[in-house]
Amino acid sequence: MSAPELILHGGRFTTLDRSRPEAEAVAIADGTFVAVGAAAEVMPLAGPQTRVIDLKGRRALPGLIDNHLHIIRGGLNYNMELRWDGVRSLADAMAMLKAQVAITPPPQWVRVVGGFTEHQFAEKRLPTIEELNAVAPDTPVFLLHLYDRAILNAAALRVVGYTRDTPEPPGGEIVRDASGNPIGLLLAKPNASILYATLAKGPKLPYDYQLNSTRHFMRELNRLGVTGAIDAGGGSQNYPEDYAVIEQLAAEGKLTIRLAYNLFTQKPKQEKDDFLNWTRTSKYKQGDDYFRHNGAGEMLVFSAADFEDFRQPRPDMPPEMEGDLEAVVRILAENRWPWRMHATYDETISRALDVFEKVNRDIPLAGLNWFFDHAETISERSIDRIAALGGGIAVQHRMAYQGEYFVERYGAAAAQATPPVARILERGVKTSAGTDATRVASYNPWVSLAWLVTGKTVGGLGIYPRRNCLDRETALRMWTEYVTWFSNEEGKKGRIAVGQLADLIVPDRDYFACAEDDIADTTSLLTVVGGRVTYGAGDFDRWNEVEVPPAMPEWSPVRVYGGFGAWAQARESTRQAPAQAACGCSHGCGVHGHDHATAWSSKLPIADLKSFWGALGCSCWAI
């Protein structure tokens, strides 16, 4: 055997390989693990060109895999979005918004698109329309809160053109004043179509900026320890047009996330035509270990889409649901395409299972690796029916963001097993975990892991008793090896084992020993995908092999705020740092929270700098 390209040693490797659960060192060659074991076994394999990284006693884990991430769509927009993911007070969120408004040029919008809930804020509320208008009198602001509502300031209302003459959209509401004029509040009642449609009216990034944006989104995911994901398609994500960016990055070898993608129909009443066309022109599993086709969904037919807005009553699916769904499922089964199906409520799941069982009598579904997504209120009977058909259940941590609303509508007792993760595992049904980011929950995998382990929402509400929480190892398996069934890659990745793809992470704290309340704040110090260091921080920064150009455009919020948790870290850094003279600050206080921010902000006029850094709370502008 030739010498490995990379050896990691001096660590405590949690392999999730039941035959060898712990290791001290690993060797990697040609993108796979070639040795996993004691340092005395692995270190002699090193050659003159082998890179050797000492983990200095840190815990290493398999790379995390998100079973439901809208990474393709999210990447196209990431650089335009001001993310409130992880921000813990509305005051801080509004300071971020004010600062971003100051440097966003017309005709661009400031967009806060999902990833947060009002319950994460100390104030336990959203901003008012009046507060948005005060910080942004002229710049359009669009704020999407879950799939519940959107808040627009007056400038955004003018741009989108909603007036007293605008008709009410199907499945939604434009809230109006006594004179019939829109006030800037859009409600999903019960579906998110009006929210999608309004967001789509905003400017898009040019193609080369979308390439840059997608790379920054992947970088952020690598920073959090994500090495793979299954893309669930998404509203307004058209195939093949909106896949051009990710396909180019894949062709150029620039993907730092392994990606399996599903095709999502966009045309009500034309879903069958879409899948007939796609099964003729696309091949299931086409691609490679970095970018591969994974079947259909999560939208199969519009008549079966039950949005999870727990502030609204459960929607009843129309009577044509079964006929529409059967026509599509037969096409998929005949072509041996797996599918994933969005389903929040057991009432929808039960009716869909009637269809699947009917098709199964004619075309056996065994071996297709099909599954339901979300399944918050799934019943034990439905779990058993899924097991009998050989299907799976992919859960996401949407209840971590909406648990308070579910309790308010259905009661605390009903929330205790919503979804019943522990029970699904007990019944032996294939299951795994993910986020459903970016427009509902955050893309941060550690928030999901914390939810699985603690049973708490991001607002701190304990919704699950211990019997429906998971131990840390099981939760980790939900984010690693268990996900591989859902992309038909069992045995290829998800564990640190000889022959598997060499994806691993070194978190900044010991996942198995840290306090439960600290799990959600975890980041990665070292992320390795296929033996390549895609992210390194602290002692591991010098090993980083992937350089990402500064975020485009220059006013991108990514240049200022970095990613999840950067705002909180910046605020703490500001509190601890002494005031410095403006001429010598260089913003060493850390408020910018991003490597590129100081160089970028130096291009702004001095008046804008004062406004910008002052809005962030930078102490050096207070003198």
Burial of 267 (0-12, 13-18, 19+ CB in 10 A): exposed
Percent of the residues in the chain that have a pLDDT greater than 90, as a whole number? 88
> Omega before 318 cis (within 30°)?
no
Report the alpha-carbon distance of residue 138 to residue 156 in Å, rounded.
9
**Strand, helix or coil at 582?**
helix
CB neighbours of 514 closer than 8 A, spacing ≥ 6?
Answer: 522
How is residue 28 annotated by DSSP? Answer: E
pLDDT of residue 496: 98
Burial of 306 (0-12, 13-18, 19+ CB in 10 A): buried
pLDDT of residue 191: 86
| Residue 576 parent element (H or E) | helix 566-576
pLDDT of residue 586: 39
Q: Are the C-beta atoms of 580 and 93 separated by less than 8 Å?
A: no
Report the alpha-carbon distance of residue 39 to residue 34 in Å, rounded.
14
pTM: 0.93
pLDDT of residue 618: 54
Residues 251-281 have pLDDT tens digits of 999 999 999 999 999 999 999 999 999 999 9
How is residue 115 annotated by DSSP? Answer: S
- Largest pairwise CA distance in the chain: 80
**Domain ranges for the chain:** 6-62+504-543, 207-487, 565-623
Q: Are the C-beta atoms of 392 and 369 separated by less than 8 Å?
A: yes
Pairing of strands 182-188, 149-152: antiparallel
Torsion sign (Cα): 398, 404, 406, 412: positive
Q: How far does CA 369 lie from the centroid of its chain?
A: 22
pLDDT of residue 190: 84
Across the chain, what does the average pLDDT equal? 92
Instruction: Give the confidence band of 343 by pLDDT, cuts at 50, 70, 90.
Output: very high
pLDDT of residue 352: 98
Q: How many residues does the chain have?
A: 623
pLDDT at 574 over 80: no
Instruction: Give the confidence band of 615 by pLDDT, cuts at 50, 70, 90.
Output: low
Residues 176-215 have pLDDT tens digits of 999 999 999 999 998 889 999 999 999 999 999 999 999 9
How is residue 500 annotated by DSSP? Answer: S
Ramachandran class of 404: left when φ > 0, alpha when ψ lies in -120 to 50, beta otherwise: alpha
At residue 261, φ and ψ (nearest 5 deg) are -120, 145
pLDDT of residue 567: 61
Residues 67-106 have pLDDT tens digits of 999 999 999 999 999 999 999 999 999 999 999 999 999 9
Residues 100-155 have pLDDT tens digits of 999 999 999 999 999 999 999 999 999 999 999 999 999 999 999 999 999 999 99
Report the alpha-carbon distance of residue 351 to residue 319 in Å, rounded.
10
What count of other Cβ atoms lies within 10 Å of the Cβ of residue 393? 27
**Strand, helix or coil at 377?**
coil
Percent of the residues in the chain that have a pLDDT greater than 70, as a whole number? 90
On the question of a common fold for 6-62+504-543 and 207-487, the answer reads no
Q: How far apart are the first and last CA of the chain?
A: 64
Q: Which CATH superfamily is domain 207-487 in?
A: Metal-dependent hydrolases (3.20.20.140)
Q: If you classify domain 6-62+504-543 with CATH, what class do you get?
A: mainly beta
Name which residue leads in pLDDT, 192 or 159.
159
Report the alpha-carbon distance of residue 494 to residue 61 in Å, rounded.
10
pLDDT of residue 564: 77
Residues 542-569 have pLDDT tens digits of 999 999 999 999 999 999 888 776 666 5
pLDDT at 19 over 60: yes
Instruction: Give the confidence band of 600 by pLDDT, cuts at 50, 70, 90.
Output: very low
pLDDT at 581 over 70: no
Exposed e or buried b per residue across 354-379, where buried means at least 16 C-beta atoms within 10 angstroms of its C-beta: ebbeebbeeeebeebbbbbbbbbbbe
pLDDT at 619 over 80: no
pLDDT of residue 513: 98
Q: Which of 460, 189, 142, 463 is nearest to 309 (CA)?
A: 189
Q: Are the C-beta atoms of 58 and 508 separated by less than 8 Å?
A: no
Name which residue leads in pLDDT, 605 or 451.
451
How is residue 241 annotated by DSSP? Answer: G
